[in-house]
Amino acid sequence: MKKIILIALLPLFVIACKQKGPQFTIEGQITEAKDTMLYLEHLTLGDGVVQLDSIKLDEMGDFCLHGPRPENPEFYRLRIGGQIINLSIDSTETVSVKASLPQMGLGYQVSGSGNCDTIRMLALKLDTLTQRVRKVAEDRDLTLAERDEQIGALIDAYKTDVKLNFIQNRYGEASSYYAMFQEVGGQMVFNPVNDQSDITWFTALANSWEILYPQAPRTLNLQNIALQGHKNTRRRVLEINMDDEKVSETGIIDMGFPDKTGRERRLSELKGNVVLLDFTVYDMKGSQERTLALRELYNKYHERGFEIYQVSFDKSEHYWKTMSEQLPWVCVWDEEGLAHDIVQLYNLQSVPTWFLINRKPELVGRMELMDDLEKEIQRLL
């Protein structure tokens, strides 16, 4: 497996040379820290922790530290001894931090950067998780198996919370990158090696960063992680391509699922056509009438470049195969059903739901009803 490079792993400290050019500023006040050294450090991918600036604090604790502004989002920290405040910098020129040394790592305030404030909230949540995990781990009234089960449940609940409330629809944010690399007890909370759900979210970040920050080292890092994770878990494939300027909710997802012959069919195979991406359940009221309406549209516009990629969430594979046997478009089955991460990534609120994708491809329409579907297809064709 290719080496996974975390935000800051190596215990290597390198004094950075003064660089000319645009600078960012971290300013503020750390009280109760008289005569201590405050360091501004860059958490690099390849060179470990690089010291950028430092100051000896006086009784007031005021400070103003600088570093070269990065071309893409990067991660930094303020450190006094073992007390750490994690920060991210992209185009932000000045970030303000206020704290008191005894509670510096968790009790600080930050302004000037939404990402830095989100990182602050994530640090608080992770501290709460760590305390709960430690409490379970030290409970000798529980068996080892019971401790593992409870710790696993705590971590799973934490991941769900972070995915839905901090990462979803914010895949290109530095705070989302930070969240995916959090650790508890020296282990990554999100497992990019063999947890299919977590790998899906790493892939979402990788492709969003590829659009926003092509060829950036952290983009390549995410891509390598996602690629290796998919190699480790061959059962299903999801490649998520995001364009935050065009799609406000999630983005276009290139997915691969088996059709009724067992062959994996991918949404990307239909690139260059106008595609109706349809999420459905055949075993539900009104499904047959809806299928007839889709068939009429397909027969009418297929020769002009209209295709349908239909994902079924039916519980019964046999029922799905029976109902899709005679359908002329691409019909695939997701065995995980509504529990699949794709439901969260597309923010599906109800089923059936369809999405329209143009020839570029870009996701250009989303709707539960079919009243205006034909007009939209005609417009795109």
**111-120, 148-157, 291-300, 346-355 — most confident range:** 111-120
Across all residues in the chain, what is the average pLDDT? 84
pLDDT tens-digit profile of 92-147?
889 999 999 988 999 999 999 999 999 999 999 999 999 999 998 888 898 888 88
State the virtual CA torsion across 361, 363, 369, 372 in degrees, nearest 10.
-70
The CB-based long-range contact list for 195-200 (8 Å cut-off, 24+ gap) reads 196/233, 196/235, 196/236, 197/341, 198/159, 198/229, 199/226, 199/229, 199/230, 199/232, 199/233, 200/238, 200/240, 200/341, 200/342, 200/345
Q: Is the pLDDT of residue 316 over 50?
A: yes
Q: Is the pLDDT of residue 41 over 70?
A: yes
- Higher-pLDDT residue of 236, 252: 252
Angle at 47 between CA 42 and CA 50, to 5 degrees: 30
Q: What is the pTM of this model?
A: 0.60
> What percentage of the chain carries pLDDT values higher than 70?
86
Q: Which fold has domain 13-110?
A: Immunoglobulin-like (2.60.40)
- Higher-pLDDT residue of 344, 293: 293
Architecture per CATH, domain 253-380, reads as 3-Layer(aba) Sandwich (3.40)
Ranges of CATH 2.60.40 domains, the chain: 13-110
Q: Is the pLDDT of residue 26 over 90?
A: yes
pLDDT tens-digit profile of 249-308?
334 677 788 888 888 888 888 989 999 999 888 888 778 888 888 988 999 999 999 999
pLDDT for position 340: 65
Q: Which residues contact 276 (CB under 8 A, 6 or more apart)?
A: 294, 297, 306, 307, 308, 309, 354, 355, 356, 357, 373, 377
243 confidence band (pLDDT: 50, 70, 90)? very low
